[in-house]
Chains A and B, each alone.
Chain A
């Protein structure tokens, strides 16, 4: 560059401009190219490499996380180099674009695509029809595999979902109620105890355990051995010690649908900690004067609890309750690993999995998914309403 300074003045500005412009254009082109090449090479390496597992893990993590960061940086760089009005207009979309695109791909469009797929028979969409087929609606109707609402009729008449719906109702009622009651009980007790932190940690701990792990744990509770042999499951050992006969509690058809309760207990065990934390925070938010006033007026502790505490944390109870209801509606892992949905323990999500992936009946599977979606629509509306009220967006 020092040499350039000696060149004739008029040329200097021009040449420098051209060089700068070329340089910029080159960078604007080459950096994204290098970035994309690096990302692509990483992908190929991960897909085809026979490198040791730990190396793949390290590369995958760096590639995955770094790749996305790189993309943001590159796109932002390109947009910032654009002339002013455009860079200002486009930059928000660099920021918000990836999130919107991914949400559209993974959640918004699937609602519509699954809804459409649910109108076809087990073969799914006829050949040559993309998943965006509604734009070619008349032709699709002529195809053999379009069955209209037949899948939904089948679901409710062929007993595909009746058991599952009944069980899900049990999950919702007992799962959420027991979680809320246990959560509240622990929160109230711990609030008055010196061992608050320790006890809360213990109750909260199962939240870190996977459903599959929890299933293993609870198999040690429910395991059954023939009568007369030593029981290695705790529940049956207690039953036998008390003079009863051992039973496969969660797989005991004779007590269906109540065997579902033994599965529900597992999830209550996992989830009560969640409810407890929120209740505990809410209880601490109740003004002390309010409770004191009640006590001075001669209310017993039970009256204080029901007349003052419960009404004060009503909002939190509703939030926790809805969260757990949505959650239990989608319950899958525990049931799938413990019983595979047999013995009358199918729920909507296991039935969905069975139909979609085991029985390869995408039509019925999709229709079940839509029913699951319809079940959460009230919550969605409630959410949006809440959002509109509290936000001056």
Chain B
């Protein structure tokens, strides 16, 4: 029995560790890559930072000087092979050296390589500097040519994201809290039907609204302004916010509120002085929810902010960079990591609220 238990503990923890490891690999890859220089990112995998054995060139030979005929079997440095075989690299019998033909038949060179322990530990903060401060960098390649890479100023996009995300988080919560209070504690005609509308709208996909709202914005001259995107995020998040906050506010103790009314407090006072402070857990959990959603949003920004390049948010900038791939890998890694930083901080810091918020909305019933 004891032995059995021990085995199951090992199995459970082993499987769990494996899963966690598996889950973290992609993020670790990005994290490591963001500190590697441009050349390294493009020529070797990020996992090569782990010490491993690799071939390192010790001598370079010129096939012409050696008088080799690339059409037949050649003998170089104790190994022999055809051109195709040499292109792949031929290992000596003892396995310590490798001979490799690099380049084409006519102009190629032959490299004699030895197997050594190595790790690509050439880390740099250059990517972050470029992404954050938009600094141009000069890169000297191994052959001596110098290329200037224009920087990408993500700071602006970062500020734009903040400008979009903070009001888009607070405004819907404010409006939803007022509405939730009214639904829970005020009596007025149409209350039931209006709330049924809120519940029905919970699942309506926002795609349905993009074209009509865009045409409204055009008429109002709102396109490309922050107000436009705040309102859009408010509209798309409001149903869920109202529903979740209603669930919470309606369970507040009736006596507390009633005693306040007896003392002559108005609804507005009760709401601001009593209900809002009491609802902080619910408000916070939804705030985190909405913040992550808005910060990570791409579609709404693409449709409503796409007009003005100065207003682009982080996700848009990242997506733009992804489009011009190949040469921007290094910027992409640092940019992506910066874009993740704030939501990760918010998320880890307020994780408990977040989880509670999820549970308030979904597990009930």
Contacts and interface: CB of A to CB of B under 8 A. Distances in A.
B46 interface: yes
A330 B207 contact: yes
Nearest to A320: B362
A220 B46 contact: yes
Nearest to A203: B23
Residue picked from B175, B182, B201, most chain A C-beta under 10 Å: B175
Given A102-B175, A189-B19, A216-B30, A372 B226 contact: no
Contacts of A117: 211-212
Contacts of A373: 204-205, 208
A207 B47 CA distance: 24
B62 to A, nearest CB: 22
Nearest to B164: A60
B339 A213 contact: yes
B182 A92 contact: yes
Contacts of A186: 16, 19
A356 B211 CA distance: 7
Interface stretch (B122-130, B253-261, B342-350): B342-350
A210 B340 contact: yes
A357 interface: yes
A230 B100 CA distance: 15
A199 B20 CA distance: 6
B73 to A, nearest CB: 21
A269 B205 contact: no
B159 A269 contact: no
A35 interface: no
A224 to B, nearest CB: 12
Contacts of A349: 205, 207, 299
A64 B227 contact: yes
Contacts of B364: 390
A65 B167 contact: yes
Contact of B196 (A352, A372, A387): A387
A353 B271 CA distance: 41
A205 interface: yes
Contacts of B201: 103, 107-108
B19 A105 contact: no
Interface string B153-176: 001100110110011001100111
Contacts of B314: 210
A365 interface: yes
B305 interface: no
A213 B340 contact: yes
Interface stretch (B134-142, B144-152, B228-236, B278-286): B228-236
Interface stretch (B37-45, B74-82, B91-99, B111-119): B37-45
Interface stretch (A276-284, A286-294, A304-312): A276-284
A201 B348 contact: yes
Contact of B181 (A95, A221, A332): A95
Contacts of B160: 53, 57
B339 A220 contact: no
A56 B238 contact: no
Contacts of B155: 53
A366 to B, nearest CB: 6
A98 interface: yes
Contacts of B103: none
B362 A278 contact: yes
Interface in A342-393: 349, 352-353, 356-357, 362, 365-366, 368-370, 372-373, 376, 379-380, 383-384, 386-387, 390, 393
Interface in B312-358: 314-315, 318-319, 322, 325, 332-333, 335-336, 339-340, 343-344, 346-348, 351, 355, 358
B45 A234 contact: yes
Contact of A208 (B16, B29, B235, B292): B292
B203 A210 contact: no
A64 B207 contact: no
A131 B212 contact: yes
A239 interface: no
A216 B30 CA distance: 8
A17 interface: no
B211 to A, nearest CB: 6
Q: Is the interface of A mostly helix, strand, loop or mixed?
A: helix
Given A215-B322, A220-B46, A349-B207, A193 B181 contact: no
A162 interface: no
Contacts of A92: 182, 186-188, 191
Contact of B362 (A206, A218, A319): A319
A232 B163 contact: no
A370 B45 CA distance: 45
Interface stretch (A21-29, A68-76, A242-250): A68-76
B188 A57 contact: no
A135 interface: no
Contacts of B45: 230-234, 237
Contacts of B159: 53-54, 56-57
Given A80-B266, A110-B212, A210 B298 contact: yes
B210 A216 contact: no
A151 B181 CA distance: 43
B60 interface: no
B248 interface: no
24 contacts: A46-B227, A103-B238, A111-B208, A117-B211, A131-B212, A192-B9, A195-B17, A202-B20, A203-B19, A205-B27, A205-B344, A216-B335, A217-B29, A234-B45, A274-B358, A316-B363, A323-B362, A332-B299, A337-B322, A357-B303, A372-B208, A383-B203, A384-B199, A387-B196
Given A208-B292, A319-B363, A372-B205, 18 more contacts: A89-B188, A92-B191, A99-B198, A103-B235, A106-B209, A186-B19, A189-B12, A206-B27, A210-B296, A216-B336, A234-B29, A234-B47, A237-B47, A278-B363, A337-B322, A353-B299, A383-B202, A390-B364
Interface of A: 43, 46-47, 53-54, 56-57, 60-61, 64-65, 68-69, 72, 76, 80, 89, 91-93, 95-96, 98-100, 102-103, 105-111, 113-114, 117, 131, 182, 185-186, 189-190, 192-195, 198-199, 201-213, 215-221, 228, 230-234, 237, 269, 272, 274, 277-278, 281-282, 301, 315-316, 319-320, 323, 326, 329-330, 332-333, 336-337, 349, 352-353, 356-357, 362, 365-366, 368-370, 372-373, 376, 379-380, 383-384, 386-387, 390, 393
The 8 closest A-B pairs by CB, nearest first: A106-B235, A64-B167, A210-B296, A99-B179, A95-B182, A92-B188, A110-B209, A208-B347
Interface of B: 8-9, 12-13, 15-17, 19-20, 23-27, 29-30, 33, 41-47, 88, 155-156, 159-160, 162-163, 166-167, 170-171, 174-176, 178-179, 181-183, 186-188, 191-192, 194-213, 215-216, 225-227, 230-232, 234-236, 238-239, 242, 266-268, 271, 292, 295-299, 302-303, 314-315, 318-319, 322, 325, 332-333, 335-336, 339-340, 343-344, 346-348, 351, 355, 358-359, 362-365
